[in-house]
Amino acid sequence: MQNGPKKLKFTKIKKGRLAKFEFKSNVLNFGTVGLKAMQSGTLNSKQIESARQVIAKKTKRKFKIWIKIFTYLPISAKPIGIRMGKGKGKVSHWGARVRGGNVIFELCGHSKKKLIASLTACQSKLPIKTTICYKNSFWLTKTKISLSCYDKNRVAKSQKNL
């Protein structure tokens, strides 16, 4: 399970605001299929971990998974029976700010149906609206290519032969 960072300069951070759209990390860098956020929001470490477990279970742990977000935001909460005042509460869990358009997960594998089925099951575990995005070169080919995430040279040669 993901926890927060090991060291912080300040342990408690103000809430701040969420921007609506992300334009820097809205493309796939590593995998062929990804899960992109359509809304802004915060995800805690339990939600990210449960989504990762669903993907691993659906793909039978044979595909490569990249998690593109990290829980760096400490979220504090006061105990239930405490009155107002007396400072900010303790850090209860860690979260990550996600903007709309930000890629959350990337997957790489050879079965298109399993990739899409795993990401649709993953969408129900997250509290924000998401969509499945593709890398253009992988889905536009007419023949089936056995895509291996670990052997990039073989993939490049097979695409040149088409």
Reported as a pLDDT band with limits 50, 70 and 90, residue 111 is confident
Per domain, the residue ranges of the chain are 33-80+87-136
Residue 18 in this model has a pLDDT that exceeds 90: no
pLDDT at 162: 54
Query: For 50-87, what is each residue's pLDDT tens digit?
Result: 999 999 999 999 999 999 999 999 999 999 999 999 99
* 3-state DSSP helix/strand/coil % of the chain, to nearest 5: 25, 25, 50
Q: 65 CB contacts (<8 Å, ≥6 apart)? A: 52, 55, 56, 59, 105, 106, 107
33-80+87-136: which CATH architecture?
Answer: Alpha-Beta Complex (3.90)
Reported as a pLDDT band with limits 50, 70 and 90, residue 144 is very low
pLDDT at 157: 56
State the Cα angle at 152 between 113 and 149, rounded to 5°: 40
pLDDT at 43: 95
Query: For 90-104, what is each residue's pLDDT tens digit?
Result: 999 999 999 999 999
Rounded Cα–Cα distance for residues 15 and 25 (Å):
22
pTM score, two decimals?
Answer: 0.78
